[in-house]
């Protein structure tokens, strides 16, 4: 939105800029008003204990967005975050986005060098484009990268929508270098034949061919029993089977706890709260009537319950034992949690 206003003002299109601002405000204001008038209370945050009710302003200052245990940073630490993300983008992600299939071929070091090469070309191409004419893309792309560099999360997922622009600037960088080389060699009247247009076309088709190869490789791995991708697909199938069992066997009025409450709620329809830490949440779970703990990933749980008895696992995947449902017992009958060994790892995470 900022980029659009900046571009319209640059083009001296004052009236369209005002219309754009008014239309944007008309579309966004209702949600902004609603979200602020329905902010979660302190009591609700204690109940949920999850990042889904956490405002972006809180996530921004965390070392890892949505992970409270990661700690917080100060303003003075922002430059290190920005530099770390820029180094990650330029030193690894550019190559991964442009040609992901090369990662297992080159390895991380080789892909890093390839990414640096593409990043240099992209910067040269961006400067070349700006010198020729500043379009909407030349405003939005750097603004987007600035936001991505500021946000405390892996930049790859936010960088992906910019892929067409990044490849475009890489091609522009290639063109700018060829033009510079021709000027330095004083070639004023090049002979007809292989020219810059042909070179850019070949390079563009190389990118396209590489992406097609990467997609075909991805599809092939789905049928390879030894591939990590196939393993991930199988695990997700086990999780879906778990959710189906929950829908068919557990009463609809029960409340669940899970490390991924949105996913559990989406698939089961049960009210689900965040299950981050059994000891800290135990009494709150009893008050809220939480009976079942639904685990969908490889996170450890106590081997004993609050009374010293064995954990009651009522569902466990045969293929992946980390996918399981634990019955904590009736909330009214559960005694306060007393960990036999204070130093033992009881944190669900």
Q: What is the pLDDT of residues 91-135, one digit of tens each?
A: 988 988 888 878 778 888 888 999 999 999 999 999 999 999 999
Token representation of residue 163: 């892929």
The total of structural domains in the chain comes to 2
Q: Is the pTM value of this prediction over 0.85?
A: no
Tell me the sheet residues that pair with 293. Answer: 257, 326
Residue 301 lies in a domain: yes
User: What is the phi/psi pair of residue 150, to 5°?
Assistant: -85, -25
User: Are both 210 and 134 inside the same structural domain?
Assistant: yes
pLDDT band for 345, please (50, 70, 90 cuts): very low
End of a domain among 177, 199, 221? Answer: 221
User: Are both 209 and 271 inside the same structural domain?
Assistant: no
What is the Cα–Cα distance from 95 to 105, expressed in whole angstroms? 12
Question: What range defines the domain where residue 131 resides?
Answer: 73-221
300 pLDDT more than 60: no
pLDDT band for 199, please (50, 70, 90 cuts): confident
User: Are both 197 and 302 inside the same structural domain?
Assistant: no
Between vectors from CA 156 to CA 141 and to CA 61, what angle results, nearest 5°? 85
Residue 209 lies in a domain: yes
Between 185 and 223, residue with greater pLDDT? 223
Residue 16 lies in a domain: no
Residue with tokens 């004083």: 186
Q: What is the pLDDT of residue 21?
A: 96
User: Are both 128 and 268 inside the same structural domain?
Assistant: no
Between 162 and 199, residue with greater pLDDT? 162
Quote the mean pLDDT of the chain.
84
The arrangement of strands across the sheet holding 312-316 comes to 272-274, 255-258, 290-295, 324-327, 312-316
* CB-based contact 172:126 (threshold 8 Å): yes
End of a domain among 158, 186, 221? Answer: 221
User: Are both 188 and 317 inside the same structural domain?
Assistant: no
Residue 2 lies in a domain: no
Residue 64 lies in a domain: no
User: Are both 234 and 273 inside the same structural domain?
Assistant: yes
Q: Residue 227: which of 112, 104, 106 has the closest Cα?
A: 104
Between vectors from CA 305 to CA 303 and to CA 308, what angle results, nearest 5°? 90
User: Are both 195 and 254 inside the same structural domain?
Assistant: no
User: Are both 261 and 125 inside the same structural domain?
Assistant: no
Residue 272 lies in a domain: yes
User: Are both 83 and 112 inside the same structural domain?
Assistant: yes
Residue 225's SS3 state is: coil
What does the pLDDT look like over 7-34, one tens digit per residue? 999 999 999 999 999 999 999 999 999 9
User: Are both 239 and 126 inside the same structural domain?
Assistant: no
Angle between helix 2-10 and helix 136-150 axes, rounded to 10 deg: 150
What does the pLDDT look like over 239-276, one tens digit per residue? 999 999 999 999 888 899 888 888 999 999 998 888 77
70 pLDDT more than 90: no
Q: What is the pLDDT of residue 152?
A: 93
End of a domain among 196, 221, 246? Answer: 221
What is the Cα–Cα distance from 275 to 279, expressed in whole angstroms? 10
Residue 344 lies in a domain: no
User: Are both 183 and 258 inside the same structural domain?
Assistant: no
Residue 286 lies in a domain: yes
Q: What is the pLDDT of residue 347?
A: 46
User: Are both 236 and 200 inside the same structural domain?
Assistant: no
349 pLDDT more than 50: no
Query: Mean per-residue pLDDT for 59-78?
Result: 87
Transcribe 114-138 into DSSP letters: HHHHHHHHHHHHHHHHHHH---HHH
Q: β-pairing, 272-274 with 255-258?
A: parallel
Q: Which residues contact 170 (CB under 8 A, 6 or more apart)?
A: 98, 118, 121, 122, 125
Q: β-pairing, 255-258 with 290-295?
A: parallel
């Amino acid at each position: 939105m900022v980029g659009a206003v900046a571009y319209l003002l640059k083009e001296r299109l004052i009236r369209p800029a005002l219309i754009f601002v008014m239309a944007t405000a008309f579309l966004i204001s209702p949600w902004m008003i609603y979200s602020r008038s329905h902010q979660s209370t302190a009591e609700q945050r204690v109940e949920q204990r999850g990042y889904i009710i956490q405002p972006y302003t809180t996530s921004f200052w965390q070392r890892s967005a949505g992970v409270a245990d990661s700690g917080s940073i100060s303003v003075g630490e922002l430059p290190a975050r920005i530099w770390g993300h820029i180094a990650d983008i330029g030193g690894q992600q550019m190559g991964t986005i442009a040609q992901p299939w090369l990662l297992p071929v080159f390895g991380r070091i080789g892909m890093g060098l390839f990414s640096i090469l593409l990043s240099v070309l992209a910067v040269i191409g961006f400067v070349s484009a700006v010198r020729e004419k500043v379009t909407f893309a030349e405003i939005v792309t750097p603004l987007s990268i600035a936001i991505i560099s500021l946000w405390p999360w892996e930049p790859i997922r936010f960088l992906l929508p910019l892929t067409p622009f990044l490849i475009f600037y890489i091609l522009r960088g290639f063109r700018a270098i060829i033009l510079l080389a021709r000027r330095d060699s004083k070639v004023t009247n090049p002979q007809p034949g292989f020219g810059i247009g042909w070179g850019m076309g070949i390079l563009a088709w190389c990118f396209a061919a590489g992406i097609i190869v990467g997609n075909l490789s991805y599809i092939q791995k789905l049928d390879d029993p030894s591939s990590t991708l196939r393993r991930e697909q199988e695990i997700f199938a086990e999780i879906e089977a778990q959710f189906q069992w929950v829908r068919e066997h557990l009463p609809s009025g029960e409340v669940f706890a899970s490390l991924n409450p949105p996913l559990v709620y989406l698939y089961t329809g049960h009210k689900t709260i965040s299950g981050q830490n059994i000891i800290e949440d135990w009494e709150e779970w009893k008050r809220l009537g939480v009976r079942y703990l639904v685990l969908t990933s490889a996170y450890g749980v106590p081997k004993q319950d609050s009374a010293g008895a064995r954990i009651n696992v009522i569902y466990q995947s045969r293929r992946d034992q980390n996918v399981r449902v634990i019955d904590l017992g009736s909330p009214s009958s559960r005694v306060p949690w007393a960990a036999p060994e204070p130093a033992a790892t009881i944190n669900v995470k």
